[in-house]
Homo-oligomer: A and B are copies of this chain.
């Protein structure tokens, strides 16, 4: 299987495959006489594994770590679990931050009365007042 076929089967860009190889997430495959990369099914499996981890938003460094752990069968499963739970906590923290943001943006949008000109725009006023460090609906002093 050449790189285009592998990429198609995994649903990724050809460049991404080469990038993963450079980054040590994919083993360098054998080459044909003319220098083309020749992949086997195990490469597709690995690539799918990486993509699944990416779909869970894991950074490449963590996927690399996961691959290391899975190579060494003496390693305890707890290390894998810790990695996943640490990642989960990061995702939770980010989600909560976005939730707070949503509230602020909604409050901001509510400031705007339709049809006004920007000179009277509640949003811009609010943003500028906030910039002065004054209390505002989206950044309550409390």
Contacts and interface: CB of A to CB of B under 8 A. Distances in A.
Given A98-B98, A105-B56, A114 B77 contact: yes
Interface residues of A, number: 59
Interface of A: 45, 48-49, 51-53, 56-57, 66, 69-70, 72-81, 84-85, 87-88, 91-92, 94-95, 98-99, 101-102, 104-106, 108-109, 112-124, 127-128, 130-133, 138-139
Contacts of A132: 45, 48
A117 B49 CA distance: 19
Contacts of A91: 98, 101-102, 105
A16 to B, nearest CB: 16
Q: For the complex, would chain A's binding face be called helix, strand, loop or mixed by DSSP majority?
A: helix
Nearest to A99: B95
A86 to B, nearest CB: 10
A140 to B, nearest CB: 14
Given A77-B113, A77-B120, A121-B77, A131 B52 contact: yes
27 contacts: A45-B128, A45-B131, A45-B132, A53-B127, A56-B108, A56-B138, A57-B101, A66-B127, A70-B118, A72-B118, A73-B118, A73-B119, A76-B118, A77-B113, A77-B115, A77-B118, A78-B112, A79-B118, A80-B118, A80-B123, A81-B121, A84-B123, A88-B109, A91-B101, A91-B102, A95-B99, A95-B102
